[in-house]
Amino acid sequence: MKNGENGSARRLTRRETIVAGGIGAAAIGGVAIDRLGSDDAPQLTARQEEALALRTESARADIVRPAPDQPSNGDEARYPDRFGNHSKGLPHDTHGRVEPAAYEALVAAIEDRAPFEDVPVAGGRRLVNPRAGRAFGLAGRDPQSFELGPPPAVSSPGLAADLVELYWLALARDVAFSRYAEDELTVAAVLDLSNREGFRGPSVGGRVDPGLLFRGSIPGQAEGPYVSQFLLTDIPAGAAAITQRYIVPIAGDDHATGLAEWLRIQRGFEPRRQQRTDPRHRYVRNARDLAEVVHRDYPYQIALGASLILLQFGPDAVDPGNPYLDSSVEEGFTTLGGPQAVDLVARVAYDALCACWHQKWFVHRTARPEEIAGRLDADLRRSSSSELHPSLLSSAVVERIAERQGGSVVLPQAYPEACPLHPSYPSGHASFIGASVTVLKAFFDESFALPDPVVASDDGTRLEPYAGPPLTVGAELDKLAANVALGRCSAGIHWRFDAEDGIRLGEEVALAVLADVVGTLPEQDVSFTLRGFDGSPVTVTRDGLA
């Protein structure tokens, strides 16, 4: 479809229709709102009046909410060369700094002061959908009404600690999760990250336990094996079953490991070398496998698989608050059943991405880890001081990376193309999996223990029984959210704060949608109860959240 920017005539957008003629110019079901109270207006049925009242009430509840402040970390104003901001795909100088005029053209387009066609793209790869941050939503809250605290400033110890963790994670991509307590690389990572200033990963008394290494801080995800059961067990798909063995790269298949290739990729050119894939499909057994699972997936794919796994357990796995569990006459289906759960898993993924894209492009424009590491490399080569916190260079991992890459400290990438061409904060994957998992926690019994849990063998060729404590739906869904979000960190394309804050943004979006959904249901006194990603109980009713 044409977007109308280049044509001589086009239809008014929904936003322009409302602005041009006021709310009275809009229409519902072909009946202009400004005619509803007039003498010649069609007579509404009781059902139409009820539907209009419901939609109006929902819209008003969103409109009266105070507009968020939308604070940024100030890096864009602090550094004229945009050291801390995303600029991939635009022209860059030989030191990896974006050309100022190109960056200003991008900002002008984002702020609707110039057309996007005026933004110069250097290598041919296109920017990923920046105008999506202007999209509206008709369920839940408006995508621009969500506030996300600013990410760490580029000069902060927090960002330096995140980069140290990403360097270790890149080095340890081929270490099996089950061997973290004994492998030399992961043992060294544990020692380096423990008590590191600004480190946000899970620890006990400041010490990082090998069992918590590279995990998220969501309470449930620390239980049991690293990989969620929802990424290992077969997925029922009608009369078929999908075995979760994946096409993965071979060990050591890293990309953009030198400054020249890094700079080429920053300018938006296609990579010179593609992935080398393992001839044998594998179950997820290490960070490289996990990174590939979240490389070419579509937004709700993994959560959809989890919903199909849960639905096979029937009423035993349904949330105990579902009113149909106590009925001897009815069972839930279209409402409060599988179709609604599966629909919402997909629907909230879109809503979360709209909110996420607003934060990415319109508020923060945060640089990707690959961008920051490459700029550090260029500064070190020309003996220039760096804007990064000095604690970064005190880490032994920087020297290890340089030794492995012939002196370069660019961040090794799992994907040939490295990150996509949109800003880092927050993570899109984290946002949509946070939203979809929130729906699953609302519809299913979080205390239900999954039968016959498994782990992948160290070589990923088979599944083996897991003999530890029971693994519950709630904890494994928390872990699924962490696996998907941090799997992008495993690839080297996201910060830890992108992942963890993105998950919580997705949760907020989904809870707002669920509150609207409760108000549409014919079942009386229905509410959704779940445990939030911060561990606190949440109840969603017709009146909102409790």
What is the average pLDDT across 138-143?
A: 91
Distance between CA 289 and CA 248 in Å, rounded? 6
Pick the CATH number of 157-514 from 2.40.170.20, 1.10.645.10, 1.10.606.10, 1.10.3720.10: 1.10.606.10
What is the average pLDDT across 112-127?
A: 95
Distance between CA 533 and CA 373 in Å, rounded? 30
How many Cβ atoms from other residues are within 10 Å of residue 372's Cβ? 27
pLDDT in tens, 64-78: 788 899 999 999 999
Predicted confidence band of residue 63 (pLDDT cuts 50, 70, 90):
confident
Mean of the per-residue pLDDT values of the chain = 91
pLDDT attached to residue 41: 67
Phi and psi torsions of 373, nearest 5°: -65, -40
Range with the poorest average pLDDT among 57-61, 282-286, 411-415, 480-484:
57-61
Residue 3 pLDDT greater than 50, yes or no? no
List, by residue number, the catalytic residues. Answer: 422, 429
pLDDT attached to residue 38: 61
What is the average pLDDT across 514-523?
A: 93
pLDDT attached to residue 138: 87
pLDDT in tens, 168-200: 999 999 999 999 999 999 999 999 999 999 999
Residue 12 pLDDT greater than 60, yes or no? no
Phi and psi torsions of 191, nearest 5°: -65, -40
Quote the radius of gyration of the chain (alpha carbons, Å).
25
pLDDT attached to residue 310: 98
Predicted confidence band of residue 154 (pLDDT cuts 50, 70, 90):
very high
For residue 249, CA distances in Å to 150, 264, 378, 456 come to: 35, 22, 29, 17
Q: Which residue has the higher pLDDT, 7 or 174?
A: 174
Question: pTM for this one?
Answer: 0.92
pLDDT attached to residue 35: 55
pLDDT attached to residue 290: 98
Distance between CA 81 and CA 103 in Å, rounded? 9
Predicted confidence band of residue 546 (pLDDT cuts 50, 70, 90):
low
pLDDT attached to residue 482: 97
Q: Where are the domains of the chain?
A: 157-514
